[in-house]
């Protein structure tokens, strides 16, 4: 081959290589550290950061991990953060932001490096960046200072007054040998403000320990004037489990008043019916969370209840409330969802700006769980309720 031909071949080859390398390439899709089923860390981004963090500063303390996919420090930290979110869910709002996928959010929050954990105390206290060792223990030590408390110190001198004041309101007593008020118990006292009165009894008060036959600590008792004996909590000392246990005793009472309804069967039912009497207790007046409603022309098929019960177990650390609505009894309310075929499932947000999402697919725990996962990841498209909600007929 002549030198001229060789030169032409080299030029063509170089041009071809340049053409190939200059073509746009789509980066492989890599999921965020926390964007997977079963994650207890709230996935945050441009769609939900303000709603979940910025606008929720009055409700408590939020902790957010800002990271990038190739950030080795964050990759190593993520498993520990997941366990932290599981243990402290409810005491804090715990989230993560992938700055590769959500650069607008990280830019807005002025994130200049990763890994970075930022703590958002209740407003107007300014947020701050955690410094030092990237460990959940160190982060907790700083964030715990901003958790308020409504816990009352109870002893032999004031115990009768504590129990007898507002007799219709259940009293909660934590018996402990610790000097400090546990963080989880503080958070619970805020969550049940004006619904339950939480007190703490120290081990030094031997008389009260003997009166209530406390043999070991920690021990939580629910004391109701209508019950002869205290109700003993026997679960784990974690926020979500204790919250679920106490919530049963908080809904039927108001401070300073009488028992609102001696027979509220829906408060004891696993999957209650949404009716004129029950709707406030089980959905509309609840703090946070979403109402998962099975819409049906009659009592839903057993498979729907089974799916809901399975979801209650698999999403037990999430704030979902499961119920059903008889469309024939309440056609006006059912009409809000614009559904023609039943049964189906609607996920309803009962906040100030009410909105809903219709589940599309089979009425199985797996299919409905996928819809809930889309919501948790901030990718759901809700429909806003523009008009005033119609009243329940029954």
Which tens digits make up the pLDDT trace of 110-147? 999 999 999 999 888 899 999 988 999 999 999 999 99
Q: What is the CA radius of gyration of the chain?
A: 26
The tally of CA atoms less than 13 A away on the side-chain side of residue 303 is: 9
**CATH fold match for the domains 42-146 and 152-250:** yes
- The answer regarding whether domain 266-384 maps to CATH 3.40.30.10 reads yes
Q: What is the pLDDT of residue 57?
A: 83
Backbone angles phi, psi at 67, to 5 degrees: -150, 170
What are the pLDDT digits (tens) for 142-167?
999 999 899 999 999 999 999 988 88
pLDDT of 42-69, one tens digit each? 999 988 898 889 888 877 899 999 999 8
CATH of domain 152-250: 3.40.30.10
User: Residue 184 has what pLDDT?
Assistant: 93
Q: Which helix (H) or strand (E) holds 98?
A: strand 93-98
Give the 3-state secondary structure of residue 48.
coil
Q: Domain-by-domain residue ranges, the chain? A: 42-146, 152-250, 266-384
- Greater confidence, 340 or 73? 73
Tokens 């990759």 correspond to what residue? 75
pLDDT tier at 340, thresholds 50, 70, 90 = confident
Sheet bearing 152-153, strands edge to edge: 152-153, 197-202, 171-176, 219-223, 231-232
Give the architecture (CATH level 2) of 42-146: 3-Layer(aba) Sandwich (3.40)
> Which pLDDT does position 251 carry in this prediction?
59
Say how far apart CA 347 and CA 70 lie, in whole Å: 35
Joined together, the tokens standing for residue 297 give 């022309």
CB atoms within 10 A of CB 360: 10
Q: Are 209 and 201 in contact (CB under 8 A)?
A: yes
Q: How far is CA 208 from CA 178, 197, 221, in A?
A: 16, 17, 12
Collect all residues with Cβ–Cβ distance below 8 Å to 346 and sequence separation of at least 6: 292, 293, 295, 337, 339, 356, 357, 358, 359
Confidence label for 262 from pLDDT (cuts 50, 70 and 90): very low
Please give the mean pLDDT across all residues of the chain: 83
Strand partners, 152: 199
């Amino acid at each position: 081959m002549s030198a001229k031909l060789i030169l032409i071949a080299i030029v063509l080859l170089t041009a071809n290589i340049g053409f190939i390398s200059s073509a746009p390439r789509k980066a492989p899709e890599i999921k965020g550290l926390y964007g997977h089923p079963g994650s207890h860390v709230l996935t945050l981004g441009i769609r939900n950061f303000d709603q979940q963090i910025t606008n929720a500063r009055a409700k408590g303390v939020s902790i957010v991990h800002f990271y990038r996919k190739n950030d080795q420090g964050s990759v190593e930290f993520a498993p520990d953060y997941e366990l932290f979110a599981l243990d402290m869910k409810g005491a804090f709002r715990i989230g993560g932001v992938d700055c590769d996928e959500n650069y607008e959010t990280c830019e807005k929050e002025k994130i200049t490096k990763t890994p970075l954990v930022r703590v958002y105390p209740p407003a107007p206290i300014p947020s701050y960046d955690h410094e030092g060792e990237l460990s959940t223990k160190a982060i907790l030590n700083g964030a715990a200072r901003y958790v308020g408390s409504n816990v009352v110190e109870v002893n032999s001198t004031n115990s009768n007054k504590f129990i007898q004041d507002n007799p219709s309101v259940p009293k909660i007593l934590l018996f402990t040998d610790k000097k400090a008020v546990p963080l989880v118990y503080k958070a619970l006292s805020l969550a049940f403000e004006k619904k339950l009165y939480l007190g703490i009894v120290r081990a030094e008060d031997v008389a009260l320990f003997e009166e209530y036959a406390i043999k070991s600590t920690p021990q939580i008792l629910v004391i109701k004037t209508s019950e002869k004996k205290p109700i003993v909590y026997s679960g784990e000392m974690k926020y979500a489990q204790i919250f679920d246990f106490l919530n049963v005793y908080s809904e039927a009472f108001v401070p300073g008043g009488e028992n609102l309804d001696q027979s509220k069967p829906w408060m004891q039912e696993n999957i209650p019916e949404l009716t004129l009497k029950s709707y406030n207790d089980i959905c509309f007046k609840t703090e946070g969370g979403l109402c998962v409603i099975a819409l049906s022309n009659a009592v839903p098929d057993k498979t729907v209840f089974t799916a809901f019960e399975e979801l209650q177990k698999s999403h037990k650390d999430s704030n979902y409330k499961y119920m059903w609505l008889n469309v024939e009894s309440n056609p006006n309310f059912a009409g809000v969802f614009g559904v023609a075929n039943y049964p189906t499932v609607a996920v309803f947000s009962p906040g100030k700006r009410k909105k809903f999402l219709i589940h599309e697919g089979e009425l199985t725990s797996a299919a409905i769980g996928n819809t809930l996962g889309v919501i948790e990841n901030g990718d759901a498209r809700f429909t806003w309720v523009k008009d005033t909600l119609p009243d329940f007929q029954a």
